[in-house]
């Protein structure tokens, strides 16, 4: 994979070559491999605030933020201290801890609107994949039904049933689904176009009494950002509930990032009556932690109270809980105001740089999350519209930014992530880099 940009064959490229001899593709999660942009991925040796440092110790303004968790910026001292103090008390006990109770209470208190919270119970797991997988099992256990509805371009982790048309890495590598998923399992998932009320109603008309749940990203952000149409989340709830199906709102990416209470609390169409929510990323502040929560009548079907089994040796790990607690406690209104303002500033700069270079584009947003679609006139509303963009402009744009010290998500199908640590100096560097990158995109 030595591209022209690896001409120097630097420490990153050497590490990548070595990595590929013992790790499939040299990476432990596919989009890290830079496959769609080319070249050797930057191996990160450390990160601080808005910056990451590669194997050559080059500094980049980081707009990946660990794909979401680093809301406060990298290495936030309060979070790191909390983890160190937790480590001094032991790494893992396989027994309940007070911190887990505090975190459940804090999540309930934060995900709150108009005097109510959709979260009566919360269970901690280690990854977003586990959270959504368990939520689906729980919905099936609660309803005695098998089918699950998901939307094309929505990513809910890599459990078998949720990998069809799943956006994110699959979109990056143009895979409709994953090999290794039995047809019998794939057949239990109905994939619908997003923001399409008619398709949703039709699915329930065709399969009355057979759909256990609709799972939806609270605001889609794994095919680039595609916010729900105003009121679409409410429509999902109304249509599903009318048939006795549950609604799982996946806030792994949006939760505690777009707002203190996630998209559920921010949605301009108001609070909706979802049954289960899933969280990940920010809730663990950079440590492996995720959660599912919801109505007690459903959540209490989980073992040990009920017949739906779920467990985890490292679930509620004390270091991860300490990081999550410290992150959420620090994430006050001021933090969200800073992240929102940083996003506003970058959105404005991207738009004017691309316009000045004559590159047609649409910037789609959901709160402080956004993504850039090349060649579109308006923000895409579903996966087909997302895929109609001129994605081939992205590698040139990406590498021009990287050469100027700005690390973007290495796929056009991913959101850009700002943090509260993106200060004026970091944002100014992004602004300075954009015009040349926009020209590179125009020339691509
Ligand atoms: N759901 C959503 C909405 C996500 O964005 C992700 C991760 N990008 C997941 C689930 C899966 O989380 P994890 O990678 O922690 O398994």
The CA distances from residue 285 to 80, 98, 122, 279, in Å, are 10, 18, 17, 12
Residue of 166 and 156 predicted with greater confidence = 156
Pairing of strands 59-62, 406-407: parallel
* Ligand 1 binding pocket includes 132 (Cβ within 6 Å): yes
ipTM metric: 0.99
Give the separation between CA 150 and CA 194, rounded to whole angstroms: 9
State yes or no: cis peptide before 134, omega within 30 of 0. Answer: no
CA 415 distance to own-chain centroid:
8
Token readout for 280 is 């990940």
Share of the chain above pLDDT 70, in %: 98
* pLDDT score at 178: 87
- Tokens 């201290």 sit on residue: 81
CB atoms within 10 A of CB 279: 29
Q: How far is the CA of 280 from the centre of ligand 1 (A)?
A: 7
* Ligand 1 binding pocket includes 383 (Cβ within 6 Å): no
CB atoms within 10 A of CB 260: 18
Residue whose CB lies within 8 A of the most ligand 1 atoms, among 68, 130, 155, 216, for a mutation test: 155
State which ligand 1 atom lies nearest to the alpha carbon of 250.
Answer: 3
* Ligand 1 binding pocket includes 411 (Cβ within 6 Å): no
Q: How far is the CA of 155 from the centre of ligand 1 (A)?
A: 7
Q: How far is the CA of 408 from the centre of ligand 1 (A)?
A: 18
Q: By C-alpha distance, which of 299, 291, 322, 294 is closest to 124?
A: 291
pLDDT per position as a tens digit, 366-425: 999 999 999 999 999 999 999 999 999 999 999 999 999 999 999 999 999 999 999 999
Angle at which helix 424-443 crosses helix 333-356, to 10 degrees, equals 30
| DSSP 8-state code for residue 301 | T
Cα-Cα-Cα-Cα torsion 13, 17, 19, 24, nearest 10 degrees, comes to 120
Q: Is 96 exposed, middle or buried (0-12, 13-18, 19+ CB in 10 A)?
A: exposed
pLDDT per position as a tens digit, 59-88: 999 999 999 999 999 999 999 999 999 999
* Ligand 1 binding pocket includes 215 (Cβ within 6 Å): no
| DSSP 8-state code for residue 302 | B
Q: Is 224 within 8 Å of 371 (Cβ atoms)?
A: yes
* Ligand 1 binding pocket includes 317 (Cβ within 6 Å): no
* pLDDT score at 165: 85
CATH of domain 77-330: 3.40.640.10
pLDDT per position as a tens digit, 333-346: 999 999 999 999 99
Q: Is 46 within 8 Å of 80 (Cβ atoms)?
A: no
Among 97-106, 139-148, 173-182, 225-234, name the one with the lowest average pLDDT.
173-182
CATH of domain 4-71+333-443: 3.90.1150.10
Give the separation between CA 90 and CA 308, rounded to whole angstroms: 30
* pLDDT score at 164: 83
* Ligand 1 binding pocket includes 66 (Cβ within 6 Å): no
Give the start-to-end residue ranges of the domains of the chain: 4-71+333-443, 77-330
Q: Is 46 exposed, middle or buried (0-12, 13-18, 19+ CB in 10 A)?
A: exposed
Token readout for 338 is 């800073």
State which ligand 1 atom lies nearest to the alpha carbon of 129.
Answer: 16
Start-to-end CA span in the chain (Å): 20
SS3 343: helix
Catalytic annotation, residues: 155, 250, 281
**Degrees to nearest 5, angle at CA 40 with 38 and 44:** 130
Residue minimizing CA distance to atom 1 of ligand 1: 156
């Amino acid at each position: 994979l030595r591209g022209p940009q690896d001409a120097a064959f630097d420490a990153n490229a050497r590490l990548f070559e070595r990595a590929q001899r013992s790790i499939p593709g040299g990476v432990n999660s596919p989009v890290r491999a830079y496959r769609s942009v080319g070249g050797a991925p930057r191996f990160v040796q450390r990160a601080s605030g808005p910056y990451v440092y590669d194997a050559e110790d080059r500094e980049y303004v980081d707009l990946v933020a660990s794909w979401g968790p680093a809301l406060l910026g990298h290495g936030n001292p309060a979070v790191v201290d909390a983890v160190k103090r937790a480590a001094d008390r032991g790494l893992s006990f396989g027994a309940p801890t007070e911190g887990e109770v505090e975190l459940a209470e804090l999540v309930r208190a934060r995900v709150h609107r108009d005097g109510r919270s959709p979260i009566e119970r919360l269970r901690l797991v280690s990854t977003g994949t586990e959270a959504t997988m368990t939520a689906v099992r729980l919905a099936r256990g609660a309803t005695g039904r098998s089918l699950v509805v998901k939307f094309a371009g929505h990513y809910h982790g890599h459990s078998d049933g949720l990998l069809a048309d799943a956006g994110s890495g699959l979109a990056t590598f143009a895979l409709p689904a994953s090999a290794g998923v039995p047809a019998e399992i794939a057949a239990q998932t109905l994939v619908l176009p997003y923001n399409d009320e008619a398709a949703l109603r039709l699915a329930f008309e065709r399969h009355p009494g057979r759909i256990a749940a609709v799972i939806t990203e609270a605001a889609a952000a794994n095919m680039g950002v595609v916010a729900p149409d105003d009121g679409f989340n409410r429509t999902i709830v109304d249509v599903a509930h009318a048939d006795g199906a549950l609604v799982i709102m996946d806030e792994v990416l949006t939760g505690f990032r777009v707002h203190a209470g996630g998209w559920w609390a921010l949605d301009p169409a108001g609070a909706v009556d979802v049954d289960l929510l899933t969280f990940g990323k920010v809730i663990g502040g950079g440590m492996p932690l995720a959660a599912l929560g919801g109505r007690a009548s459903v959540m209490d079907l989980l073992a040990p109270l009920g017949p739906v089994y779920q467990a985890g040796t490292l679930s509620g790990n004390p270091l991860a809980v300490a990081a999550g607690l410290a992150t959420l406690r620090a994430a006050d209104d001021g933090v969200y105001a800073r992240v929102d303002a940083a996003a506003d500033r970058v959105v404005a700069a991207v738009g004017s740089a691309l316009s000045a270079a004559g590159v047609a584009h649409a910037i789609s947003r959901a709160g402080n999350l956004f993504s850039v679609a090349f060649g579109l006139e308006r923000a895409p509303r579903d996966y087909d519209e997302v895929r109609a963009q001129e994605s081939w402009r992205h590698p040139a744009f990406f590498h021009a930014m990287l050469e100027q010290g700005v690390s973007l998500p290495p796929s056009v199908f991913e959101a850009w992530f700002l943090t509260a640590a993106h200060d004026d100096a970091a944002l100014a560097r992004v602004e300075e880099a954009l015009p040349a990158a926009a020209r590179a995109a125009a020339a691509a």
